[in-house]
Amino acid sequence: MSIVVLQPGKVTLGEWAAVYRGAGVCLDESCIAPIARGAEAVARILARGEPVYGINTGFGKLASVRIDTADLAKLQSNIVLSHCVGVGEPMPVAVTRLMLALKIANVAQGASGVRPETVRLMCALLDRNLTPVVPSQGSVGASGDLAPLAHLAGALIGVGEIALPTGERLSALAALGAAGLAPLTLSPKEGLALLNGTQFSTANALAALFDIDTVFQSALVSGALSTEAAKGSDTPFDPRIHVLRGHRGQIETAQALRALMAGSAIRASHRVGDPRVQDPYCLRCQPQVMGAALDLLRYAARTLECEANGVSDNPLIFADTDEALSGGNFHAEPVALAADAMAIALCEVGSLSERRIAMLVDPALSGLPAFLTPHPGLNSGLMMPQVTAAALVSENKQCAYPASVDSIPTSANQEDHVSMAAHGARRLHRMAANAAAVVGIELITAVQGCDFYGNLRSSAPLEAVRKVVRARIAPLTDDRYLHSDLQAASDLVRSRALLEAVRGMPLPALVSA
């Protein structure tokens, strides 16, 4: 298994993607010194006897309440216990591991005031594949992802549950003990440092981004194959058209479609004498629609990479001056807006794919047999998979209402504007799965359409895709149970099997390998 060495502030999206996909994690040892300096600064700040938020005061609306020195450790454990209020299904292990790695990278920059031993325990959990059980609901995206991160912090002090590599859940105390690890007694500032931050929202958004990257590239492949099945034109992908407009995503999308279709005998067969003048938008405007989605997704990727490498704690500790500065880096508005952008782009990817499915099964538009069955009437063919695709696209549209435009004040109006980034990011998992299923249905449809051309072949990369699909899904001659076919096609999309089949094609990616 590969190992990602976290260098806080410098971690690439590709490295975060590797963590999400199961890579091991270790912290660059050069971080230990600045972590220690931050903890030492907290001790010096306390020694001055001045009230400092979250270190010797209450939290939120209770920030004016001064806490006695004898109660400072209890103050930190209390904030963890009182904030463990998440509800709903636990987050997937892969997302929670990513959240834990993000928290390590956040506090390892030395501005959070935690001790090296606290960071080492978090690293030990990742190293041993011990995953805190974190409920999926309860964060409003400011003041940080408080409830989910409290469950993460709870595991460090022996509270709550931890999932073992086998999937079994134990009490946190029992799981730590079985692994030879001791629970923490939190020092001043540590409980607040662990709770404050955007790591839950960011982990969910990043995980979705990695999945969407796969869906987007697969949709370019399925779109090219649908163009072939419809005997569509590659003229709309001519580079001269797209250079005149200038959008990077559009130019790169057109380049990918040209490369995927290059050398196709199907395209050559109707290059001369085809009475059609223009294809429908779902074919002709792929560079414009998919390119715009790509540009929007790239904005989200840049935002999330920045957020993952930043510090979103509060207050922040500056060891060089022994200052604790209160601010609002915990506010997840950048993540919320990025998540909303991703949702919109994902809707468009799925919507365009569904329109190509609908076009191919309609004989009036495609020129192919109705619903792509050799015996329409007796057989319904691919009539109903298009309905499923329509249902999934509609569901994604309903999910895409911007989360960032909502705000409900909390903490007795102290936290009077919140981002709602957490559920804005979390919904993306469901949306990405829906879009993958739609693209899978398009693959089935496009391959079935191309089958009607007999020995006429498409391009080399698209023929490789047809081979991959046909290895899992047989041609549809008579009606049969299609659920397993749809599942297999979705799995081909999500597993990146299609992308392996066209390796070497210039498919624009959001995340570098």
Cα distance between residue 78 and residue 76, in whole Å:
5
* Statement: residue 373 has pLDDT above 70: yes
Give the domain extent around 193.
Answer: 3-197
- 53 a catalytic residue: yes
Are 61 and 191 found together in one domain?
yes
CA angle 18, 22, 28 (to 5 degrees): 60
Q: Do 110 and 319 contact (CB within 8 A), yes or no? A: yes
Are 136 and 211 found together in one domain?
no
* Statement: residue 59 has pLDDT above 80: no
Show which of 197, 223, 245 is a domain's final residue: 197
- Is 31 part of any domain? yes
From the candidates 20, 53, 299, 453, give the one annotated as an active-site residue: 53
Left (φ > 0), alpha (ψ -120 to 50) or beta: where does 413 sit?
left
Show which of 173, 197, 221 is a domain's final residue: 197
* Statement: residue 52 has pLDDT above 90: no
Are 249 and 180 found together in one domain?
no
Are 93 and 221 found together in one domain?
no
> Where do runs of H (alpha helix) occur along 312-382?
333-361, 363-366
- Is 167 part of any domain? yes
**Strand 161-163 versus strand 135-137 pairing type:** unpaired
Strand partners, 432: none
Which whole number is the average pLDDT over 75-102? 96
pLDDT tens digits, 437-494: 999 999 999 999 999 999 999 999 999 999 999 999 999 999 999 999 999 999 999 9
* Statement: residue 84 has pLDDT above 90: yes
Are 190 and 214 found together in one domain?
no
Residue 245, pLDDT score: 98
The secondary structure of 155-178 as a DSSP string is HHTT-SEEE-TTS-EEEHHHHHHH
pLDDT tens digits, 134-177: 999 999 998 889 999 999 999 999 999 999 999 999 999 999 99
Domains of the chain: total: 2
Show which of 148, 167, 197 is a domain's final residue: 197
Strand partners, 3: 24
